[in-house]
Amino acid sequence: MNKKNIPLNERIIFALDFSSTDEAKQWVRRVESHIKFYKVGLQLFLAGWFPIIEWIIDRGHKVMVDLKFFDVPETVKLAVEQLQNRGITFATIHGNDPIVRAAVKEKGDLKLLAVTVLTSFGENDMKEMGLQCSVEDLVFHRAKQALDIGCDGVVSSGLEAARLRERLGEKFLIITPGIRPGKNIEVKEDDQVRIMTAEKAIKNGADHVVIGRPIKTSKDPVALIKSIQKNISLL
């Protein structure tokens, strides 16, 4: 387990993947006694724009804006500027070196996370794209490049986290999506390929785990959150 002093109620970043701000707010109110960190992705951002982010922050919580900026460097630079001075903790980018470099120059008080390889992406996808390396090697290469350029951390599955920690050290953030709590939790229409439990991901070196569907589809979301946090606390 990594040695950063991160509060237990910030280890889980709850993915607010909802189509309306009202539904997102209902969920924040439902779980905020146990979770203080939330992800706003494309769906909710398009539904609620900056006001939903401001609402979450005003309640004393942290926000990860997961828009995975990928465009020509100048456009990414201007997009990152729009996130400055809003109290946002994390923002994500997904691109080659010039894109990452442009984002880093304008990150200001943001912690910038480079998305390495989406967790819905597997070895068969690599072959179909004509790539000769493994997913793990590609994640490592992209992570090293992003950190060398000046990113504060990366987004990767828990499967790659151990190698990243071993080879690249402790002085950067690893945020891990594709979290599945265990065999007793069924997530329908699951498109994630590289998955892992929260406690295993953190044991491998992740700082935060992003969890959405398992919590939303649970019969008792708060009980599930408490169970995951208990397992993390025992590491």
Would you please indicate which residues are annotated as catalytic (active-site) residues? 68
- Nearest C-alpha neighbor of 135 from the set 151, 147, 155, 119: 119
Burial of 167 from C-beta contacts in 10 A (0-12 / 13-18 / 19+): exposed
Q: Show Cβ contacts of residue 107 under 8 Å, excluding neighbours closer than 6 positions.
A: 80, 84, 91, 152
Residues paired with 114 in a beta bridge: 93, 154
Residues paired with 41 in a beta bridge: 66
Print burial letters for 201-232: b (CB count within 10 Å at least 16), e (below 16). Answer: bbbbbbbbbbbbbbbbebeebeebbeebbebb
- What distance in Å separates the CA atoms of residue 127 and residue 139, rounded to the nearest whole number? 15
Q: DSSP letter for 152, please.
A: S
- DSSP secondary structure string for all residues of 32-66: TTT--EEEEEHHHHHHHHHHHHHHHHHTT-EEEEE
User: What does the block give as tokens for 230?
Assistant: 């208990």
Residue 175: strand, helix, or coil: strand
